[in-house]
């Protein structure tokens, strides 16, 4: 039985297919194993017997077809008849059924195809991007997103989703930071587990559930220079302490497929890495599902020929040619090859040359068939096309309400000078900015099958949420071009619209100014060399703010930005990320005070690009930053060592205090527990929610430990003047760490405990771990 080894956090994991039924684990209580363990449907023994029967009948060619994963643009009827294992990015239910009928009725062994899709933050009902959802510090948000996305995906015949993306990242230049949960492995683990349970439920055999593929395994979130697909190099202890935990949490929550990554780690490509794929994932963690490669990742292990590549993609140079690449990937632990076809094409040759083994090929096929049996594909291979064509199956009113709540809860109030927010809904409001009347960019990257016409722009949301007059001025334009056609010089390049924007602001009582990035600026292959607002948007902010009107800057973006100039000009700043289908309504709910913002940053915002990487859970140094000194770890041209906004930060329309940190004991045996408690009080005059956060530090250890590590959090909703005591249970999993031999160690010594509502928490107590 799998156990989700995350202590000290509130995990709200939906265990049924309903919108409201959930099991909420009390803070500090160890997760109930029976509740979290995935239900496999029929007994695994019967599945293994059926797999044995199939394997005995399969020819080598049929086995090699099963390990092949093709795209919608590649797959043919002949592939389906030959017994291809999987197809991805096909969303037409009629075509899915046609290919499935060929596979089930015309292939010799009648093995169904597994259809997959990148449902990242929604299929038709688009939720906030995952980095935004992580800002909610609420696993209910992630779970609801995954549950609704799974149901809509399954409705068209998709039974596997390439989600959740759980890569920890300290690199805001990297475009795919938008797809993950930020810089902290603990928060990432909680959200990863919630997404897996939301998508899979008790069993992904259910018609409205799908099997999840956790990606990108592993270290993909820390590429050199922030450039997507670039190399990663790190120590064993850093790999295990920072980057592997969210993957382990997802596997423990029931994820049955994993996607290996494009990048190399310590010189070995992710999809040809026996240590990460076989030693850690399959042997140490007991993972019995399958690993698929990312898009052409197997081919990219090849060395590039001196001149024109003759076999497609290449690069890493750890394999001499196509056969070598296929052999290395399969023998390392990759079970399914996406797009490139080296294992299928050269498999017989590689077997004859003893470069791959029959037992390893059988193991890969067994793992793929195991997931297909668990998914119920042999019993129910086809999709109900009448349901798939029914508009009532998608984007329901209830789902839109859920997405709206999720989007509002994911927003982070970064600044609110002079109580500028909430705005008066009865006053005249100017909505200004290149992203203000926008239904396209609010959906964010990986918008699935979301449609611009279904999205609510901020302008429309403000109109719907106010009784006063709403006016609009664009100010300038942003480009939605993709590289290489994209030219940064086209972004908000002219100030010709500034005068109209200023006049519109002057004629109104208050201003909502919407700036940021287009959705094409975030996601895969969207590394940026600067984190400033693109183009002259900051000049637009300055011009509008100079009117002296109450101005709130609403940010639409997929990464931390450098906002020093913005916070110097604008009295109020709201980080909305890319909020999804209900973006405008959610922004309106927050700026007009219908919803009190409660989001917290899952990633640090630097003052300047030069601080990157900057993250709260860094290791200490012998000469820590001190701007009053020279020979210390500091930047000569900065007067502060800190980020502009730290991890865990977020304001509210009320105020909170965190006090009375207590520990249940001052010593803890390595097999024991300590309960930490704190009191959270709403000290303001309106109701609101805060996120209580618990951090640890081990000041003396055999390996230098991070200055802070998040080990518990809980959202606390309070009326004015109300207090609540929050408790977290700490055990060996919280105080121990992995060393550079890959061994988990719990060392005796003092542990510092910090409590507050962001990562700069100052309340402190200590206890001692004993032998």
Q: Which residues are catalytic?
A: 294
Q: Which residues pair with 70 in a beta bridge?
A: 87
Q: For residues 439 and 443, what is the distance between their CA atoms, to the nearest angstrom?
A: 7
Nearest residue to 164 (alpha-carbon basis) of 211, 219, 226: 211
CA dihedral 85, 91, 97, 98 (to 10 degrees): -80
Q: For residues 258 and 286, what is the distance between their CA atoms, to the nearest angstrom?
A: 13
Nearest residue to 262 (alpha-carbon basis) of 309, 182, 329: 329
- Torsion sign (Cα): 621, 622, 625, 630: negative
The answer to whether 491 and 534 are in contact (CB under 8 A) is yes
Nearest residue to 549 (alpha-carbon basis) of 411, 424, 454, 693: 424
Q: Within a 13 Å sphere around the CA of 604, how many CA atoms are in the beta-carbon half?
A: 24
Q: For residues 284 and 278, what is the distance between their CA atoms, to the nearest angstrom?
A: 8
Pairing of strands 12-13, 23-24: antiparallel
Q: Which residue has the tokens 């001025």?
A: 473
Max CA distance (Å), the chain: 80
Nearest residue to 524 (alpha-carbon basis) of 445, 411, 620, 627: 445
Angle between the N-to-C axes of helices 397-409 and 583-591, in degrees from 0 to 180, rounded to the nearest 10 = 50
Tokens of 154: 């399954």
CB atoms within 10 A of CB 379: 11
CB-based contacts of 271, cutoff 8 Å, min separation 6: 260, 261, 262, 277, 293, 294, 297, 298, 301, 329, 332, 334
Buried/exposed 685-711: b ≥16 CB within 10 Å, e otherwise:
eeebbbbbbbbbbbeebebebbbbbbb
> What is the separation of C-alpha 203 from the centre of its chain, rounded to a whole number of angstroms?
22
| Residue ranges with strand state E in 634-687 | 656-663, 667-669, 674-682
Question: How far, CA to CA in Å, does 734 sit from each of 233, 347, 708?
Answer: 26, 45, 12
Nearest residue to 596 (alpha-carbon basis) of 463, 467, 430, 411: 411
Number of H helices, E strands in the chain: 22, 28
DSSP alpha helices (H): ranges in 221-357?
Answer: 236-238, 245-252, 274, 322-332, 342-352
| Residue ranges with strand state E in 325-468 | 337-338, 412-416, 429-432
Q: Which residue has the tokens 């409201």?
A: 20
Lateral strand order in the sheet of 763-770? 667-669, 763-770, 749-756, 688-697, 709-718
What phi, psi does 669 have (nearest 5°)? -60, 155
Tokens of 610: 């030069």
Q: For residues 673 and 667, what is the distance between their CA atoms, to the nearest angstrom?
A: 9
Rounded-to-5 percentages of helix, strand, coil across the chain: 30, 20, 50
Q: Within a 13 Å sphere around the CA of 168, how many CA atoms are in the beta-carbon half?
A: 25
């Amino acid at each position: 039985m799998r156990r989700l080894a995350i202590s000290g956090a509130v995990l709200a994991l939906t265990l049924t297919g309903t919108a409201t039924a959930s099991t909420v684990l009390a803070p500090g209580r160890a997760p109930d194993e029976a509740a979290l363990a995935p239900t496999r449907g029929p007994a695994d023994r019967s599945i293994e017997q059926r797999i044995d029967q199939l394997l005995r009948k399969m020819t080598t060619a049929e086995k090699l077809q099963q390990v092949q994963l093709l795209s919608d643009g590649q797959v043919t009827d002949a592939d389906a008849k030959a017994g291809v294992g999987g197809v991805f990015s096909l969303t037409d239910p009629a075509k899915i059924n046609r290919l499935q009928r060929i596979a089930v009725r015309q292939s010799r062994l009648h093995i169904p195809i597994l259809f997959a899709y990148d449902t990242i933050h929604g299929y038709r009902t688009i939720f906030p991007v995952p980095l935004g959802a992580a800002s909610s510090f609420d696993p209910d948000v992630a779970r609801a997103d995954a549950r609704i996305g799974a149901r809509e995906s399954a409705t068209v015949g998709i039974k596997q989703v390439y989600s959740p993306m759980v890569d920890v990242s300290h690199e805001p230049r990297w475009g795919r930071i938008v797809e993950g949960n930020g810089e902290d492995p603990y928060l990432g683990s909680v959200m990863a587990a919630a997404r897996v349970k939301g998508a899979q439920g008790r069993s992904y055999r259910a018609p409205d559930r799908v099997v999840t593929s956790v990606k990108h395994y592993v270290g993909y979130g820390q590429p050199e220079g922030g450039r997507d697909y670039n190399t990663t190099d790190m120590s064993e202890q850093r790999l295990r302490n920072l980057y592997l935990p969210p993957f382990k949490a997802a596997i423990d929550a029931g994820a049955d497929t994993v996607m290996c990554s494009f990048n190399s780690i310590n010189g070995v490509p992710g999809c040809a890495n026996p240590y990460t794929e076989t030693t850690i994932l399959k042997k140490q963690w007991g993972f019995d599902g399958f690993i698929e490669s990312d898009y052409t990742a197997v081919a990219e292990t090849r060395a590039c020929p001196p001149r024109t590549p003759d076999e497609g993609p290449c690069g890493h140079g750890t394999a001499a040619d196509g056969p070598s690449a296929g052999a290395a990937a399969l023998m390392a632990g990759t079970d399914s090859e996406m797009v490139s076809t080296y294992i299928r094409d050269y498999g017989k040759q590689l077997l004859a040359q003893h470069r791959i083994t029959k037992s390893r090929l059988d193991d890969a096929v067994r793992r793929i068939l195991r997931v297909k049996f668990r998914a119920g594909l042999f019993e129910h291979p086809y999709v109900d096309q009448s349901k798939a064509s029914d508009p009532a199956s998608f984007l329901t009113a209830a789902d839109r309400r859920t997405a709206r709540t999720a989007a509002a809860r994911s927003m982070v109030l970064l600044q609110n000078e002079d109580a500028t927010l909430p705005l008066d809904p009865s006053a005249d409001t100017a909505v200004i900015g290149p992203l203000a009347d926008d239904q396209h960019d609010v959906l964010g990257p990986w918008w699935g099958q979301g449609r611009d016409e279904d999205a609510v722009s901020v302008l429309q949301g403000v109109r719907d949420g106010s009784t006063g007059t709403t006016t609009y001025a664009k100010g300038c334009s942003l480009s939605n071009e993709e590289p290489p056609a994209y030219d940064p010089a086209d972004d908000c390049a002219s100030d010709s619209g500034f005068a109209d924007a200023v006049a519109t602001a002057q004629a109104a009582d208050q201003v909502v100014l919407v700036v940021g990035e287009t959705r094409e600026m975030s996601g895969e292959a969207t590394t940026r060399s600067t984190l400033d607002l693109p183009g002259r948007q900051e000049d637009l902010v300055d011009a509008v703010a100079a009117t002296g009107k109450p101005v709130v800057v609403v940010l639409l973006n997929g990464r931390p930005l450098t906002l020093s100039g913005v916070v110097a000009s604008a009295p109020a700043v709201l980080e909305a990320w890319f909020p999804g289908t209900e973006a405008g309504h959610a922004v309106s709910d927050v700026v007009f005070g219908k919803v009190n913002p409660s989001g917290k940053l899952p990633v640090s915002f630097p003052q300047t690009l030069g601080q990157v990487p900057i993250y709260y859970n860094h290791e200490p140094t012998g000469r820590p930053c001190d701007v009053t000194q020279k020979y210390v770890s500091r930047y000569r041209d900065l007067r502060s060592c800190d980020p502009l906004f730290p991890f865990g930060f977020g304001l509210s329309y009320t105020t909170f205090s965190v006090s009375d940190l207590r520990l249940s004991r001052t010593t803890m045996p390595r097999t024991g527990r300590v309960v930490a408690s704190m009191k959270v009080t709403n000290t303001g005059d309106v109701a609101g929610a805060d996120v209580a956060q618990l951090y640890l530090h081990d000041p003396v250890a055999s390996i230098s430990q991070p200055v802070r590590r998040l080990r518990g959090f809980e959202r606390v909703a309070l009326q004015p003047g109300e207090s609540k005591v929050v408790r977290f249970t700490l055990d060996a999993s919280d105080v121990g760490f992995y060393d550079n031999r890959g061994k988990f160690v719990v060392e005796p010594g003092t542990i510092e405990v910090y409590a507050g509502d962001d990562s700069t928490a100052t309340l402190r107590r200590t206890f001692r771990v004993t032998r």
